[in-house]
Amino acid sequence: MIQKPGAAVPEWKGAGNLSRVAKPSAIHEITYKEESRWVSPDSEFNRVLGGGIVPGSLVLIGGEPGIGKSTLMLQLALQLKDRKILYVSGEESEHQIKMRAERLSNQNAPKEKNGVFILTETSTQNIFKQIEILEPGLVVIDSIQTLHSAHIESTPGSVSQVRECTAELMRFAKETSTPVFLIGHITKDGSIAGPKILEHMVDTVLQFEGDRHHVYRILRAVKNRFGSASELGIYEMQGAGLREVSNPSEILLSQRDEELTGITISAMLEGVRPMLIETQALVSPSAYGTPQRSATGFDTRRMNMLLAVLEKRCGFRLSAKDVFLNIAGGLRVEDPAVDLGIIVAIISSHEDIAVSSKTCFAAEVGLSGEVRAVNRIEHRIAEAEKLGFERIYISKYNKKGLDLSKYLIKIETASKIEDVFTSLFG
Ligand code: TYD
Ligand code: MG
């Protein structure tokens, strides 16, 4: 942590032995013991952290206002037993938090006694005073932008305040081995307010995201000193809090008996987790001069590129058509492996021929209409097989090194999108 000359002295008192001089150690002589993690009852949360809460870690939970950060943290606090937890709120009153806690615990643990303490305070000096008295085993700060330290003159939420308060909490976490969770609001452009400064100060950055109008929320590790940064947890926002979703594919696939046109399933990856998602396309003659193109949950520019490929390479006349695309469940998909599923959905709607609901796709599509390989193909195939799919289309170039006899699911390979269309639509 860089301390500017003349900068405020951090409040946390046992500030370590400053006269200690560090000496270089040979790397093979350095020993360490595996941190014993605190495994919470929320398995999605543990997964994102890399296996549980690390003692003394400082974790930032970022997300847009209203997405459910306070709910997530309060719910976690209520679930953790055996230790005192201090929930510091600078945003809501005790009464509001109590009401939320009741809403959360109504179904699971009615009126059970627990070790959660609420403190409505924004001065770090006062917070540390209370911490000394209470000696909590975990501290939640809701939110870092509301705190202020007496050592800095600027207003709460300003860069220097956010930095100073985080530094004080960091010191506290490290000196006492107490895990500290900081909630931080992120601005529309995606940066956690008090720019990127926080991200490099803390051990772990988790992003809580989702579409507020949909029920699914994704908790994503953006940075993690104690685990992989490609993990993610999935929740469903319900009336009584967040429910863990351990099998995301099941909720992302709509239940349907009849075969409908314009619908396909793609085996995609979110971080390292394979999941199957549904894409819906609607292609219809344009009623007005300029055709409409709109995509929800998918990059519109990429959709336009795929449409251009279909037009130019396969001769489909789509330029006078409206094209609408929708990814089910309110997810935003960035994995290029959904390309093939998307173009098949478009052609299925255009030609009015349904694709079997037992068929899925996992391949990228290139500018010349080639079907390209994607990463972790085994995981995608295994997930599709697990969910009862009977056929998966992948790139021919993904076949190398793949033991096809291992799978029950039929694996179709293609090098050009025409091959896929011929196979599906004749
Ligand atoms: P909140 O945790 O206050 O969001 P943040 O702290 O990120 O600003 O959650 C806000 C939304 O969550 C609010 O619109 C109501 C909804 N909600 C539920 O749907 N179910 C619940 O059990 C709770 C507590 C909140
Ligand atoms: Mg909140």
Closest Cα to atom 22, ligand 1: which residue?
241
Q: The domain spanning residue 32 has which CATH number?
A: 3.40.50.300
Q: Which atom of ligand 1 is nearest to the CA of 100?
A: 24
pLDDT at 159: 85
Of residues 384 and 1, more confidence is placed in: 384
Shared domain check, 343 and 199: no
Closest Cα to atom 18, ligand 1: which residue?
239
Of the listed ranges 25-34, 160-169, 234-243, 311-320, the least confidently predicted one is 25-34
Provide, rounded to the nearest whole percent, the portion of the chain with pLDDT above 90.
57
Q: In the predicted model, is pLDDT for residue 110 greater than 50?
A: no
Q: Read off the pLDDT of each residue in 295-316 and give the average, rounded to a whole number.
A: 94
Write the CA distances from 361 to 204, 275, 285, 413, integer angstroms. 34, 12, 27, 10
Shared domain check, 230 and 258: no
Shared domain check, 266 and 222: no
- Residue 356: both structure tokens together: 């079997």
Question: What is the CB < 6 Å shell around ligand 1?
Answer: 63, 65-71, 100, 103-104, 237, 239-241
pLDDT at 225: 92
Tens-place pLDDT, residues 184-226: 988 666 555 554 678 889 999 998 988 777 788 889 888 999 9
Give residue 33's domain range.
10-14+25-246
Shared domain check, 109 and 75: yes
* Mutation pick for ligand 1 pocket among 237, 238, 242, 243 (CB with most ligand atoms within 8 Å): 237
Tens-place pLDDT, residues 73-99: 999 999 988 889 999 999 999 999 999
**Which ligand has an atom closest to residue 65 CA?**
1
For residue 390, being part of any structural domain is answered with yes
Q: Read off the pLDDT of each residue in 3-24 and give the average, rounded to a whole number.
A: 57
pLDDT band with cut points at 50, 70 and 90 for residue 402: confident
pLDDT at 256: 65
Q: Which residues are annotated as a binding site for ATP?
A: 63-70
- How far, in Å, from the CA of 71 to the mean position of ligand 2? 7
Q: The domain spanning residue 326 has which CATH number?
A: 3.30.230.10
For residue 1, being part of any structural domain is answered with no
Shared domain check, 235 and 323: no
Of residues 70 and 65, more confidence is placed in: 70
Last residue of one domain, picked from the residues 246, 265, 284: 246
Write the CA distances from 309 to 151, 318, 367, 399, 424, integer angstroms. 60, 10, 6, 24, 18
Residues with CB under 5 A from ligand 2 (ion): 70
Q: In the predicted model, is pLDDT for residue 121 greater than 70?
A: yes
Contacts of 241 (CB under 8 A, 6+ apart): 71, 75, 103, 104
- Written as one string, the DSSP assignment of 59-113 is EEEEE-TTSSHHHHHHHHHHH--SS-EEEEESSS-HHHHHHHHHHHHTTTSTT--
Tens-place pLDDT, residues 223-260: 999 988 878 888 999 988 999 988 777 666 766 667 88
Q: Read off the pLDDT of each residue in 356-373 and give the average, rounded to a whole number.
A: 95
